[in-house]
Structure 1
Amino acid sequence: MKSRVIQSLVVLAIGVAGAQAFAQSDSLVAEDAQIQLLSDTFTFTEGPIADEAGNVYFSDIPANRIHLWTVDGELQTFREQTNGNNGLFFDADWVLYGAEGGAGRISRMDSEGNATAVIDQHNGAPFNSPNDLWIDPQGGIYFTDPRYGSEANLPQPGYYVYYLAPGASEAEVIITDMQRPNGIIGTADGETLYVADHQGNQTFAYNIDAPGQISGKRLIAPQGSDGVTLDEHGNLYLTGGNNITVYSPEGEVLQVLEFPLAPANMTFGGPERNVLFVTARRSLFALPMNVRGMY
């Protein structure tokens, strides 16, 4: 079910001093750009991703909804009863996939929001709580499986990262040495994988030697992150505190973007894919950029 909720963009009212504090002037951000509050009517926002046209889909986890912010500035409800869906990602055919933490599964959604389980167990037991996912150029799915909240009676022996090959019925464990893997993304050429260890407060890069086969683990950033995204130059965006920190592919800090609320996740959207959409607690923000998203 879809419903129009908001028709116009709301500019964040933070006063003159606040506007100056949150204005961004570095080259990654559009000149004179201001952070814009699109809506603060949610419970806890997460998992944003843009479709082919630039509409941005995102989760409200406790409310069990997936919303989208359209390129026309409208807020719509795309899906309800999402089983606590968190991360979202589109495949090459613009089919939407989600990490349903409450149901312990990865799902695929049609254009009306109807979901079908893609995989919901490993070695005969449910997953802990799939959190985030990335789909590679071949259609394989990399996903993280931590759990937040109660850790009693975990169905899996650890917090792992998995790879599900196209058409496979069983996922492969590919990373086992993180405290709590969370945000995950790979480059569009399928050559590099990034995984944030949220609890371990580190983010790592890996070479992808073949689908589901990784090597060359290296520390790319001395911070963990909830969500991750990439811009067209391969720069990595990580969340932490009230900031989004941007790292070069070599791990150099390029810019720190300060927000009025702590960001959980972000993605590029809009018709030109040059607006950074940020999910932060109850809110969805937007920041015009000088760069476009990789996705």
Structure 2
Amino acid sequence: MTHPMQEAAAGIEVFDPRLAPIVAGARLEKLCTGARWSEGPVWMHEDGAVLWSDIPNDRMLRWSEADGMSVWRTGVEFTNGHTRDLGGDLLHCSHGQRAIVRTRVSAGGVRAGTPDEIVVDRYLGKRLNSPNDIVVKRDGTIWFTDPPYGIASNHEGHKAEREQPANFVFRFDPSSGVLDAMTDAAQEPNGLAFSPDESLLYVSDTSAAMRSDGSGHHRLMVFEVRGGALANARVFAEVAPGLPDGFRLDAQGWIYTSSLDSVQVYHPDGSLLGKIRVPEKVGNLTFGGAQRDQLYIAASSSLYRITLRTEGIQRP
């Protein structure tokens, strides 16, 4: 069995006493390194592993306690975010294919050579921009963001002209095959996640990343979910330093978001509860482990882990 590389040189800042029992005794571990830009971690409970993207290197990596780090796949068309659908299959946001892609997963995990399937790649007959992050609702619908980062250059995709008139948050219904544009309220939507009861949808707007004129944002937005629509968009939090790229929620509705120097923890009332300092720029994160209490953090070249006294929302 392999062990974490080292205990990372980072601390935990508690700004609100409500956070203290959640992080009591917690320490950040650096599990492995060697990527160019780490993104989109997803927990694979079948074999106790984390998969994540190394986007510029056009590959996916894997880490487990038993095997350590390995290259899981290469030539993956610049996948970014990942999640599991209700049947346990793996869904990818593909910059290169400008599509949502599915990998079938059996009880024993993903079989070698399993072909991928394009789930959706067009809206109203036009190609998507470059799907970025993805979640699945309890009703089976697939929600994803579609900013232009993967077509802006050849660094994380294939440079191309956009065909969509805006940067939408989309909802795809696998049962009907219908793709709906839900909102373009975020200038450049990036991460997204539902509250535990799915009455709220949080979306990050990272438009400051590509706009040097000061018109961009680095914030979390929140929407009310009303049946098949989103309503009452508002700014939930301005996240600094850096950008709120990917994020996830725990079972009590707390938001754990990436930023330049840490994982920032927010209460649903908007309070910044504290920061889990990380010595690299945080790109995305996910909860995993048998108890769903391990937060896996994809940051720059490395993968980190911290065990918290909470339970993440993990589907399936």
Q: Same fold (TM over 0.5)?
A: yes
Is the 8 Å Cα contact of residues 41 and 283 (structure 1) preserved in structure 2? Answer: yes
Is the 8 Å Cα contact of residues 104 and 128 (structure 1) preserved in structure 2? Answer: yes
Query: Could you tell me which residue of structure 2 aligns to residue 229 of structure 1?
Result: 248
Q: Matched residues, percent identical?
A: 29
Q: CA separation in 1, counterparts of 2:245 and 2:76?
A: 20
Is the 8 Å Cα contact of residues 41 and 285 (structure 2) preserved in structure 1? Answer: yes
Matched, 1:245 2:261: no
Is the 8 Å Cα contact of residues 145 and 170 (structure 2) preserved in structure 1? Answer: yes
Give the secondary structure class of the aligned counterpart of 2:131. coil
The Cα shift of 1:122 comes to 1.1
Is the 8 Å Cα contact of residues 261 and 278 (structure 2) preserved in structure 1? Answer: yes
Structure 1, 186-195 or 42-51: larger mean CA deviation: 186-195
Give the secondary structure class of the aligned counterpart of 2:45. coil
The Cα shift of 1:24 comes to 6.3
Query: Could you tell me which residue of structure 2 aligns to residue 254 of structure 1?
Result: 273
Query: Could you tell me which residue of structure 1 aligns to residue 293 of structure 2?
Result: 274
The Cα shift of 1:168 comes to 3.3
Q: CA separation in 2, counterparts of 1:30 and 1:75?
A: 28
Is the 8 Å Cα contact of residues 222 and 234 (structure 2) preserved in structure 1? Answer: yes
Alignment-mate amino acid for residue 22 of structure 1? G
Matched, 1:87 2:100: no
Query: Could you tell me which residue of structure 1 aligns to residue 125 of structure 2?
Result: 124
Query: Could you tell me which residue of structure 2 aligns to residue 213 of structure 1?
Result: 229
Matched, 1:263 2:258: no
The Cα RMSD (Å) is 2.1
Matched, 1:294 2:280: no
Is the 8 Å Cα contact of residues 50 and 56 (structure 1) preserved in structure 2? Answer: yes
Which sections of structure 2, spanning at least 5 residues, go unmatched? Answer: 15-19, 105-109, 154-158, 208-216
Q: CA separation in 1, counterparts of 2:141 and 2:30?
A: 35
Could you list the per-position Cα deviations for residues 178-217 of structure 1 after superposition, in whole angstroms to 9, with x for gaps in the alignment?
Answer: 211000111343322110011222211112222x421122
Is the 8 Å Cα contact of residues 9 and 73 (structure 1) preserved in structure 2? Answer: no
The Cα shift of 1:166 comes to 2.3
Give the secondary structure class of the aligned counterpart of 1:102. coil
Matched, 1:59 2:67: no
The Cα shift of 1:169 comes to 3.1
Q: CA separation in 2, counterparts of 1:178 and 1:289?
A: 31
Give the secondary structure class of the aligned counterpart of 2:282. coil
Matched, 1:163 2:156: no
- What TM-score does the superposition give when structure 1 sets the normalisation length? 0.88
Count of aligned residue pairs for this structure pair? 282
